[in-house]
């Protein structure tokens, strides 16, 4: 059986986060090229992508991460009056972004299959319910899933982050060797905020006891930024998978990390 790698395309990397529903096609194409190279090297690849400006802005406004809030006094938007409408709009936005990603793969001649979580997953956090092993069976194609609004036992609905999905994919799919978080604007986990950091502030080996500077744009994001990646990454590393955070705008680094070649970035350890 071929070795499998799981790549998370950060939402902030594949979209312009400051403007509603704007993809960054150039970055998406460059990530697809990296995947193409991995396939040529006989790696099986599973892709999980984030939401960026396709999900977070509206999900944040309607507090979808807090579940159903019948008593909260939301000011209606022009195109959305209620939380229930926001749930279906965010799901639609995520399907649109997913289609953009799928189209980029098919343009490069790579066959994929899509697995929208609201159709098969329930509850949030890395212990969500979902039959990963059966859903991701077609190991000759690239399986693609993404952060989404899912139905929940408590609170009616909630946000299942791509950072939660990767944990279970790495744990449940046999033969996953590496998990790569491709992120925007940083080379990995930093000791100081990115605007103050220099080259020497990259933490090359991180485990939960090491202090770091967490960038989390809570004005925009409903999920957890680099901090969630770090924690989820260490859960995955505990199972023997090599986990890296890599600057997604550096395709050669990404490719090296995917192939297991040492490169600039942060490797995450369990402890
Ligand atoms: O960007 C968030 O997924 P993430 C999903 O992977 C939504 O954390 C719909 C905001």
What would the 3-class secondary structure string for 98-139 be? Answer: HHHHHHHHHHCCCCEEECCHHHCCECCCCCCECCHHHHCCCC
Residue nearest to atom 5 of ligand 1 (CA): 147
Q: Exposed/middle/buried for 154, CB within 10 Å: 0-12, 13-18, 19+? A: exposed
Separation between Cα atoms, residue 142 and residue 266, nearest integer Å: 25
Q: Cα–Cα distance between 248 and 257 in angstroms, integer?
A: 11
Of 258, 237, 268, the residue nearest 3 (C-alpha): 258
> What is the pLDDT averaged over residues 36-56?
96
> In this predicted structure, what is the pLDDT of residue 226?
87
Whether the CB of 117 sits within 6 Å of ligand 1: no
Q: State pLDDT tens for residues 170-229.
A: 999 999 999 999 999 999 999 988 888 899 999 999 999 998 876 656 555 667 788 889
Q: Which one is predicted more confidently, 221 or 38?
A: 38
Q: Please report the pLDDT score of residue 219 as a whole number.
A: 57
**Tokens 């995955």 belong to which residue?**
236
**In this structure, what DSSP letter does residue 75 have?**
P
DSSP assignment of 186-253 equals: -SS-BSS-TTT--GGGB-SEE-TTS--B----TTT-SS-HHHHHHHHHHHHHTTT-EEEEEETT-HHH
CATH of the domain spanning 4-268: 3.40.1160.10
- Do 233 and 205 meet the contact criterion of CB atoms below 8 Å apart? no
114 — phi, psi (to 5°)?
-110, 150
Instruction: Tell me how far CA of residue 117 lies from CA of 96, 128, 159, 160, in angstroms.
Output: 14, 11, 10, 8
Model pLDDT, residue 254: 98
Q: Is 94 in the pocket of ligand 1 (CB under 6 A)?
A: yes
Distance 145 CA to ligand 1 centre (A): 11
With a 6 Å cutoff on the Cβ, whether 256 touches ligand 1 is no
Query: Residue 33 and residue 110: Cα distance in Å, rounded?
Result: 10
The residue whose CB lies within 8 Å of the most ligand 1 atoms, and thus the one to mutate among 14, 48, 52, 56, is 56
Of 95, 79, 4, 69, whose CA–CA distance to 42 is shortest? Answer: 4
Q: Which of 217, 223, 231, 233 to mutate to test the pocket of ligand 1 (most atoms within 8 A of CB)?
A: 223
Instruction: Give the pLDDT of residue 261.
Output: 98
Q: What are 221-263's pLDDT values in tens digits?
A: 667 788 889 999 999 999 999 999 999 999 999 999 999 999 9
Ligand 1 atom showing the smallest separation from residue 65 Cα: 10
Mapped onto helix, strand or coil, the DSSP state of residue 12 is helix
* pLDDT class of 134 with cuts at 50, 70, 90: very high
Q: How many CB atoms neighbour CB 95 within 10 A?
A: 17
CA 199 to centroid of ligand 1, rounded, Å: 29
Task: Give the model's confidence band at 18: pLDDT under 50 very low, under 70 low, under 90 confident, else very high.
Answer: confident
With the most atoms of ligand 1 within 8 angstroms of its CB, the residue from 20, 51, 97 to mutate is 51
38 SS3 class:
helix
- Which pLDDT belongs to residue 218? 59
CA of 270 relative to ligand 1 center, distance in Å: 24
Output the CA 239–ligand 1 centroid distance in Å. Answer: 24
Domain locations in the chain? 4-268
């Amino acid at each position: 059986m071929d070795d499998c790698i799981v790549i998370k395309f950060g939402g902030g990397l594949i979209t312009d986060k400051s403007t509603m529903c704007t993809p960054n096609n150039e970055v998406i194409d460059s990530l697809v090229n990296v995947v193409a190279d991995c396939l040529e090297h006989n790696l099986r690849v599973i892709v999980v992508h984030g939401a960026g400006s396709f999900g977070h802005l509206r999900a944040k406004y309607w507090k979808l991460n807090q579940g159903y809030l019948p008593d909260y006094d939301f000011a209606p938007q022009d195109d959305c009056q209620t939380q229930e409408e926001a749930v279906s709009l965010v799901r639609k936005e995520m399907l649109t972004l997913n289609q953009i990603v799928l189209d980029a793969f098919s343009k490069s001649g790579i066959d994929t299959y899509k697995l929208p979580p609201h159709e098969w997953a329930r509850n949030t956090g890395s212990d969500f319910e979902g039959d990963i092993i059966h859903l991701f069976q077609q190991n000759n194609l690239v399986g693609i899933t993404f952060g989404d609004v899912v139905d929940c036992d408590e609170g009616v609905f909630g946000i299942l982050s791509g950072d939660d999905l990767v944990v279970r994919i790495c744990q449940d799919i046999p033969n996953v060797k590496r998990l790569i978080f491709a992120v925007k604007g940083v080379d990995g986990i930093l000791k100081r905020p990115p605007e103050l950091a220099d080259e020497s502030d990259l933490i090359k080996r991180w485990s939960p006891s090491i202090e770091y500077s967490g960038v989390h744009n809570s004005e925009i994001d409903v999920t957890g930024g680099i901090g969630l990646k770090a924690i989820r990454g260490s859960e995955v590393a505990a199972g023997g998978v090599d986990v890296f955070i890599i600057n997604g705008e550096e395709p050669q680094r990404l490719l090296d990390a995917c192939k297991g070649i040492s490169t600039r970035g942060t490797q995450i350890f369990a402890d």
